[in-house]
Amino acid sequence: MSRLPSGDLLPRIETAPPGPRARQLCRDLDSYEAPGINTLGLGKDTVVWEEALGSNVLDVDGNRYLDLTAGFGVAAVGHRHPLVVSAIRRQASKLVHGLGDVHAHPSRVQLARELCRRAPVDDARVYFAVSGSDAVEIALETACLATGKPGVLAFDPAYHGLTLGALQVTSREEFRQPFLPLFHSWVRRLPFGCPVETIAELIEGHPDIGCVLLEPMVGREGLIPAPTGWIPGISDLCRRRGIALIADEIFTGLGRTGSWFAVESDGVRPDLLCCGKALAGGLPIGAVLGRQQLMEAWRGGHEALHTATFVANPLSCAAALAVLEVLERQGLPDRAAGLGRVIAERSQGWSDLYEAVVEVRGLGLAWGIELSSAAYAQELREGMLGDGILALVGGPEGHVLQICPPLVITDRQLAFALDSIETHLRPKTSS
Ligand SMILES: Cc1ncc(COP(=O)(O)O)c(C=O)c1O
Pairing of β 217-218 and β 209-214: unpaired
CATH number (3.40.630.40, 3.50.50.60, 3.40.50.1400, 3.90.1150.10) of 20-80+331-424 reads 3.90.1150.10
Is the Cβ–Cβ distance between 114 and 260 less than 8 Å? no
Question: Are the beta carbons of 112 and 320 closer than 8 angstroms?
Answer: no
- Answer yes or no: are the C-beta atoms of 276 and 129 closer than 8 Å: yes
Q: What count of residues does the chain have?
A: 431
Pick the atom of ligand 1 nearest to 215's CA.
1
Closest-CA residue, ligand 1 atom 16, reads 251
* Contact residues for 229 (Cβ-Cβ < 8 A; gap 6+): none
User: Which amino acid, 66?
Assistant: L
Query: What does the DSSP assignment read for 372-400?
Result: SSHHHHHHHHHHHHHTTEE--EETTTT-E
- Indicate the top mutation candidate among 69, 131, 160 to test ligand 1's pocket, ranked by most ligand atoms within 8 A of CB: 160
Comparing C-alpha atoms, which of 366, 139, 395 is closest to residue 252?
366
If you average pLDDT over every residue of the chain, what do you get? 93
The pTM assigned to this predicted structure is: 0.95
Ligand 1 cavity residues, CB under 6 Å: 72, 131-133, 136, 159-161, 215, 219-220, 248, 250-251, 276
d(CA 245, CA 254): 19
Pairwise CA distance, residues 110 & 317, whole Å: 8
Average pLDDT of the segment spanning 332-358: 97
pLDDT at 181: 73
Q: DSSP class of residue 168? A: G
Atom number, ligand 1, closest to the C-alpha of residue 134:
11
pLDDT tens-digit profile of 100-148? 888 999 999 999 999 999 999 999 999 999 999 999 999 999 999 999 9
Give the Cα separation of 42 and 24 in Å (integer): 16
Candidate from 69, 277, 316 with most ligand 1 atoms within 8 A of CB, to mutate: 277
5 CA from centroid of ligand 1 (Å):
31
Calpha distance 143→64 (Å, rounded): 45
pLDDT per position as a tens digit, 38-92: 776 567 889 999 999 999 999 999 999 999 999 999 999 999 999 999 999 999 9
Q: Which of 214, 217, 224, 250 to mutate to test the pocket of ligand 1 (most atoms within 8 A of CB)?
A: 250
Pick the CATH number of 83-329 from 3.30.1360.30, 3.40.50.2300, 3.40.640.10, 2.70.98.60: 3.40.640.10
* CA–CA dist 287, 250 (Å, integer): 9
Q: Where are the domains of the chain?
A: 20-80+331-424, 83-329
